A and B are shown apart, each in its own frame.
Chain A
Amino acid sequence: MSPLGPLLLATLLFCVGVYGIIARRNAVLVLMSVELMLNAVNINLVAFQNLVWVGEEAVSGQMFALFIIAVAAAEVGVGLAIIFNMFRNRASVNVDDVDLMRW
């Protein structure tokens, strides 16, 4: 089976994620875009598994994908906690409002 379809899908998802990170002002949506990018990577891993590895170790791509899902979950936990505190302090989740780390 050709990996072209999954790879195109992954590229599309990644580009949507990049756009989301750069363009959205809502912090929650930015976080969601990060998840989109991670999942684009997951698709890549799974798609390349069949192409690159054969035989006994053929599951390692899927294993990486599972790890990334776990890492992504943890990351979302941390990210949402930051956003939650941000909202409590400022009553806003707009990333443009958070620019204290500047010159």
Chain B
Amino acid sequence: MEALLDYAWLVVMLPLAAAVLTAAFGRLMPLRGSEFGIALVGVAWILSALIAWQTFTSGTIDPVEHSLAWSPLGGGFVLEIGMLVDGLTSMMFLLVTTVSLLVHIYSREYMAHEPRFTYFFAMLGLFTFSMLVLVIANNTLQALIGWELVGLCSFLLIGFYWEEKSNQDAANKAFLVTKFGDVGLIVGVIVLSIPMFSIVEDGRAFNILALNEAAAAGEIANSSIVLGMLLIFLACVSKSGQMPLHVWLPDAMAGPTPVSALIHAATMVTAGVFLLARLYPVMAQSATVMMVIAVVGVITLFFGGLVALVQDDIKKVLAYSTVSQLGYMVAALGVGGYTAGIFHLFTHGFFKALLFLGSGSLIHAVHSNNMSDMGGMRKYMPHTFWTFIVGSLALAGFPMTAGFFSKDEILVSGQIWASNGFVTGDLVFWVGLAAAFVTTFYMARACFLIFAGEYRGGHDTHGDPDVKHQAAQAAGVDPEVVGHGEAEELAAVSAVGHDDHGHDDAHGHGGHHEPHESGPQMVVPLVILAVLSLLVGYIGSPVWTAENSFETWTATPILEEATYPFLDDGGDHGGDGEQALQGGGLLAAGPVLAAAEGELHPEVLHGPPSWHFDVLGLAMAAFLAALALAYLFYGRGRRDEDPTMQMGPFTRVLVAKYGLDTLGYKAIVVPVRDKLSGWATYTSNEVIDKTVAGTGLAVMRAATTTYHVVDQRVIDGGVNGAAFSAAWWSDRLKRLQSGDVQRYAGAIVAGTIVLVLAFAAAR
């Protein structure tokens, strides 16, 4: 079994093989290429499961690292391509391959009527490969390659329905916004590698393990760490949808729903969180970095969640919920909750994938993204109903679901950080609690609107002027005044879901029909994910009393030793957690809150979780209050007087998404379009084109001159002159050959005489 970890690269390569085979032969196959993806990702899933089992049962293991080194430039500059397998890697493997496999199966039915079915599956395989490349990377440059590849796949899949302009715009927006952060990643990676060149001996300056070790040993200057990690965090902000660069993520819902589940909920958007976790020993060196990360996370988790309150498009609700949950993860990492953050990543991957796939099932049945077109769906789609409810409960943190354990662990991490004397800890705790209320409320709202009441769909809502007008009014903007793109944008907020309409219309069903439950290929993944959403939380919960838990799984030897250097090192705090647990006294759904008030917790790992009834009580109170409020408003499934749309300026701010999109449109898109593109055109036409043309003209003239002067006169003249002179001379010299033998004889005699005289003179 040990040797199994050496073959972890197979998990990465199998989806690539699937992508290549699908792209090459998919059209010829009976199942149009989906068999490659399902079979090979299935094998990859089995391998990942074995690897996960291996790493889980053996506790915190030394990472298995293999790499090929390449030194193209010499001089101690080494590039690597390699694998780093530890608990964190295998956890991500399990998450990515599980969700990817289920999405593959689900898409067979969901995408069945797509003309670009095979292309879609090839892209899914390529994305899975890219994500795994990022996860397995043993050096930051390889991680960067995977990072860019997932960005590319995301771009291609968001723009899957590229026939509609709005989808192209969404793809471009996602690509450009994340690309902005990618610049930070490149520069950050380089900044961190510079001190590493003098630390490592074999030139592997980008090696992640070496970087973590050097940082934990305090060998890297603080300035390098702060600059490098903040730049890398910028990449996380853009990729993991943190404010204010989250703007692309809701728009990314233009892609097919399975893509939203796989890429924009479960895996790709967590890449930033994963990267922070991977470099956690580096990040933990600087209080500044952790504070920035925590503050951004807190802002995101609260304000991202609020926007979900006013969305009508079910996918947008889930998208803003994803933004908010990613904020939780990032905030957790920023307040020292390493285990809590990636635990939430893990559980969120399952239940958010479940919610997206469930919403896909609804959209498939109703042919609309809008909750206002649903209602009463419990009757028509019982399986979708209960799985969606399970996912919502997990997201809202209902006790004993996966989201409950991970979210409460984040809150407790906030408490512990607060006891270290950081105000960000309190922020995470209280704002996190408030956002939990918001989360419960918007998920309850969505569930009531979708499943309770009567079915409101069945009529065509395309271009419904009332809804558009209402949306524009709510945003406080006159629809006539704003630009086209803006109006579309606003309309999409609460009116028509462009996203899945185009392809659903191709089904040929008319608008008037009763929705029906999806087929087994869509329901089975939902059920599996629902079961997982209930169960995966247990391995990190106080219920799980085995020696190996989520924390020992994902911890690394470096992290076990690591402490926060900016805290006073108490030296012997290490034993506190265990002692407290053995004492059996404190109970919390989170790590042990061990010692007395004011005592510091400089260790990165918090020890095994236990119950925390104070946190549990507050969280439950928030949950019940939100649920009750939501039932009061939406319990009968009504929507014509949606209270969240009637909160005056508050609603306007939320519908306008804090004006970030408008700001981006006015501050970036418009200037770029109107000014920058003009300058670019001017530069291109006037400066570059003219330079090129001028250069060409000058070269042409020089060539003409050369031709006339050098070629025609010097070279041709030389050649012709040689010929002419030869002819001229030969014409004269030939007369010596007179044919008169006696003249020759006379010449010989004369020559002899001359020679004799010459010799005589020379004597």
List the interface of chain A (C-beta within 8 A of B): 18, 21-23, 30, 95-96, 98-103
Which residues from chain A contact B742 at a C-beta distance below 8 Å?
A: 21-23, 30, 95
Report if B3 contacts A (CB, 8 A).
Answer: no
Which residues from chain A contact B745 at a C-beta distance below 8 Å?
A: 21-22
A18-B749, A22-B746, A22-B749 in contact; A103/B735 too (CB < 8 A)? Answer: yes
Q: Are B738 and A99 interface neighbours, CB within 8 A? A: yes
* Chain A: minimal CB distance from B728 (Å): 15
Q: Are A101 and B739 interface neighbours, CB within 8 A? A: yes
How far is it, in angstroms, between the C-alpha of A18 and the C-alpha of B745 when the chains are bound?
9
Contact partner, B738, options A21, A23, A102, Cβ 8 Å: A102
Which residues from chain A contact B737 at a C-beta distance below 8 Å?
A: 101-103
Report if B734 contacts A (CB, 8 A).
Answer: yes
Which residues from chain A contact B466 at a C-beta distance below 8 Å?
A: none
Number of contacts between A and B (CB, 8 Å)? 30
Q: Please, how many residues of chain B have a CB less than 8 angstroms from a CB on the other chain?
A: 11
Q: Are A102 and B739 interface neighbours, CB within 8 A? A: yes
Q: From A21, which residue of chain B is reached at the shortest CB distance?
A: B745
Which residues from chain A contact B741 at a C-beta distance below 8 Å?
A: 95, 98
How far is it, in angstroms, between the C-alpha of A15 and the C-alpha of B364 when the chains are bound?
131
* Chain A: minimal CB distance from B750 (Å): 10
How far is it, in angstroms, between the C-alpha of A99 and the C-alpha of B740 when the chains are bound?
6
* Chain B: minimal CB distance from A34 (Å): 10
How far is it, in angstroms, between the C-alpha of A96 and the C-alpha of B738 when the chains are bound?
11
Which residues from chain B contact A30 at a C-beta distance below 8 Å?
A: 742
How far is it, in angstroms, between the C-alpha of A99 and the C-alpha of B735 when the chains are bound?
13
Which residues from chain B contact A102 at a C-beta distance below 8 Å?
A: 737-740
- 11 residue pairs of the A-B complex, CB under 8 angstroms, read A18-B749, A22-B742, A22-B746, A30-B742, A95-B740, A96-B740, A98-B739, A99-B738, A99-B739, A102-B737, A103-B737
* Chain A: minimal CB distance from B740 (Å): 6
Which residues from chain A contact B739 at a C-beta distance below 8 Å?
A: 98-103
Q: From B731, which residue of chain A is reached at the shortest CB distance?
A: A103
Q: Are B734 and A103 interface neighbours, CB within 8 A? A: yes
How far is it, in angstroms, between the C-alpha of A98 and the C-alpha of B737 when the chains are bound?
13
Which residues from chain A contact B740 at a C-beta distance below 8 Å?
A: 95-96, 99, 102
Which residues from chain A contact B735 at a C-beta distance below 8 Å?
A: 103
Task: Please list the 3 inter-chain residue pairs (A to B) with the smallest Cβ-Cβ separation, ordered nearest first.
Answer: A102-B739, A99-B739, A103-B734
Q: From A102, which residue of chain B is reached at the shortest CB distance?
A: B739
How far is it, in angstroms, between the C-alpha of A29 and the C-alpha of B87 when the chains are bound?
124
Within 8 A of A (CB), among B705-750: 734-735, 737-742, 745-746, 749
* Chain A: minimal CB distance from B747 (Å): 10
How far is it, in angstroms, between the C-alpha of A22 and the C-alpha of B747 when the chains are bound?
10
Which residues from chain B contact A95 at a C-beta distance below 8 Å?
A: 740-742
17 more A-B residue pairs beyond the given contacts A21-B745, A22-B746, A23-B742, with a C-beta to C-beta distance below 8 A:
A21-B742, A22-B742, A22-B745, A30-B742, A95-B740, A95-B742, A96-B740, A99-B738, A99-B739, A99-B740, A102-B737, A102-B738, A102-B739, A103-B734, A103-B735, A103-B737, A103-B738
How far is it, in angstroms, between the C-alpha of A21 and the C-alpha of B734 when the chains are bound?
24
Which residues from chain B contact A22 at a C-beta distance below 8 Å?
A: 742, 745-746, 749
Which residues from chain B contact A21 at a C-beta distance below 8 Å?
A: 742, 745
Q: From B750, which residue of chain A is reached at the shortest CB distance?
A: A22
How far is it, in angstroms, between the C-alpha of A30 and the C-alpha of B735 when the chains are bound?
24
* Chain A: minimal CB distance from B106 (Å): 102
How far is it, in angstroms, between the C-alpha of A23 and the C-alpha of B746 when the chains are bound?
9
Q: From A18, which residue of chain B is reached at the shortest CB distance?
A: B749
* Chain A: minimal CB distance from B612 (Å): 124
* Chain A: minimal CB distance from B741 (Å): 6
Q: From B730, which residue of chain A is reached at the shortest CB distance?
A: A103
How far is it, in angstroms, between the C-alpha of A96 and the C-alpha of B741 when the chains are bound?
8
Which residues from chain B contact A96 at a C-beta distance below 8 Å?
A: 740
Q: From B740, which residue of chain A is reached at the shortest CB distance?
A: A99
Q: From B737, which residue of chain A is reached at the shortest CB distance?
A: A103
Mask, B132-168, CB within 8 Å of A = 1, is 0000000000000000000000000000000000000
